[in-house]
Structure formats: structure tokens, C-alpha cells
């Protein structure tokens, strides 16, 4: 009997913002599909724990510090991951973001310093990561950017966060055209409210938040978003690029 070949076998994925939450879930999901998994974050302790959990699954793993706001930091990380991945990075998941700590306030009250921080991580970060990883992305490579369904709902009192995630959709479209010349696809995922550690700290009654607005009438789980990322990273999405996949249980249709 011919053994089943896991889709990720021989492929390397780099996941930013992997110290916990969705980033950790992505790491474990890709590991389960046979990928070599590289995880980076500014939280050294958290990303080390993610790496340990991935290693426990039997997957090959690399971990290190990766500050997506610093060209030097992400450049060093990309070079190290490429070495770990036999010279290439097949999939980049731009997950790092400021989310749970973002202050909700009217637009007149937003601190300009916080605006700059949100934009530096959530919008500039994906650009710097793609810029650093571009030399190592092979033909058929994949970039998956994380946006947010809040772009479509226009969440009040959260202008800087919503604007940053709207910018990710714009980045995705331009990157898709530029990297498409090398047969690399670039797509985005726009998750709805998902139950992560940060979400529990952000919203009261997180388990039931917004459930009544969804077609599926349940809370979003990290695994729901992981499935979308695996699809966009895999062979079944090879003719899909420049798109944003909303994964929110049918809370809104766009």
C-alpha cells in the first residue's frame, strides 16, 4: 500500500506573531499537514512554547525573535528560516498584529502614538515581511495575509485598527499582481470575532459575542481560521490570488 504523502511534506512555512492565539494555532495546523514550521515573534518565551508544542507533534521546527516593524530583524529571521528550509520559504503567513491591546475610543480621542504603533505592526509589518522573504519565495510560493472582517462592518471606536486591516486588503491586491509574475499567490483572510486569549481580554461575554448575528450561530474558533490558511497555502488554491476570504460564520456577506 502506497503511504499517504502529507501536502506540506518538503515545504516550509513561516508564521509571524506565533507566540500564542491564532499564530500558535496556525503553527500546529501546518505541522499536522507535514510542513516544516518556522515561528517568529517579539515574545521570546511565548514563541519558544509554541515551538515546543510543534516539536511534540514530530514536526521540524525553527523559532526565533522576529520584530515585523524592523527591516533588520525580519531580514535576519527570513534568512535563518530560508536556511532551515533548504534555501526557500514556501509559505509566509503574515499573522503578527496589535489587537487585544488596542484602545477603543472615538476617532477624536485616539492617541497618535498608538495610531503609529498599530500601523507599524499591522500594515507596515506585512510589507516588510514580504519584502524580506521575497528572495526566498519559489515559483508556486504562497503569501497569506491576515486582515479582519471588521473592515466590512466598520467597527465604531476602533478606527486605527480597522484602517490598518483595510490596508492589508489593499496590500494583498498589489502584492498579488507584482508577485504573480513569479507564479506566487497572495491572498488574505478576514476572520470574524474568534475566541483567542486576546479576544477574551477584549470583550465581555466573548463566548456569546455576536453569535446571534451569524448564519451558523456559533462562536469562531482558531481552527476555523487555520483551515482557510491551509487551503490558501495548498495546491487547491493555485489559481486564486488577490482575494480576501471572509471567515466569520456568515455574520456578513461581502
Q: Give the cell for residue 27.
A: 503553527
- Per-residue HEC secondary structure of the chain comes to CCCCCCCCCCCEEEEECCCCHHHHHHHHHHHHCCCEEEEEECCHHHHHHHHHHHHHCCCCEEEEECCCCCHHHHHHHHHHHHHHCCCCCCEEEECCCCCCCCCCCCHHHCCHHHHHHHHHHHHHHHHHHHHHHHHHCCCCCEEEEECCCHHHHCCCCCHHHHHHHHHHHHHHHHHHHHHHCCCCEEEEEEECCECCHHHHHHCCCHHHCCHHHCCCCCCECHHHHHHHHHHHHCHHHCCCCCCEEEECCCCCCC
161 is catalytic: yes
Residue 13, phi-psi category: left (phi > 0), alpha (psi -120 to 50), beta (remainder): beta
Catalytic residue among 161, 200, 209, 239: 161
CA 200 to chain centre: 19
Q: Which of the residues are catalytic?
A: 161
Amino acid at each position: 500500500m502506497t503511504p499517504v504523502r502529507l501536502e506540506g511534506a518538503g515545504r516550509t512555512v513561516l508564521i509571524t506573531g506565533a507566540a500564542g492565539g491564532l499564530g500558535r494555532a496556525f503553527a500546529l495546523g501546518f505541522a499536522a499537514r507535514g510542513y516544516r514550521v518556522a515561528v517568529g515573534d517579539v515574545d521570546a518565551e511565548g514563541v519558544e512554547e509554541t515551538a515546543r508544542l510543534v516539536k511534540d507533534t514530530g514536526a521540524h521546527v525553527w523559532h526565533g525573535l522576529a520584530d515585523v516593524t524592523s527591516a533588520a530583524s525580519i531580514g535576519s529571521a527570513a534568512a535563518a528560516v530560508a536556511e532551515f528550509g533548504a534555501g526557500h520559504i514556501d509559505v509566509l503567513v503574515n499573522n503578527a498584529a496589535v489587537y487585544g491591546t488596542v484602545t477603543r475610543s472615538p476617532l477624536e480621542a485616539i492617541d497618535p502614538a498608538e495610531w503609529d504603533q498599530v500601523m507599524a505592526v499591522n500594515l507596515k509589518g506585512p510589507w516588510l515581511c514580504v519584502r524580506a522573504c521575497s528572495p526566498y519565495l519559489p515559483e508556486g510560493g504562497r503569501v497569506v495575509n491576515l486582515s479582519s472582517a471588521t473592515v466590512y462592518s466598520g467597527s465604531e471606536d476602533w478606527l486605527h485598527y480597522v484602517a490598518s486591516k483595510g490596508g492589508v486588503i489593499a496590500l494583498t491586491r498589489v502584492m498579488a499582481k507584482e508577485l504573480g509574475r513569479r507564479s506566487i499567490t497572495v491572498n488574505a483572510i478576514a476572520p470574524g470575532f474568534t475566541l483567542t486569549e486576546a479576544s477574551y481580554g477584549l470583550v465581555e461575554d466573548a463566548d456569546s459575542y455576536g453569535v446571534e448575528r451569524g448564519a451558523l450561530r456559533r462562536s469562531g474558533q482558531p481552527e476555523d481560521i487555520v483551515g482557510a490558511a491551509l487551503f490558501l497555502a495548498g495546491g487547491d488554491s493555485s489559481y486564486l490570488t488577490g482575494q480576501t476570504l471572509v471567515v466569520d460564520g456568515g455574520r456578513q456577506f461581502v
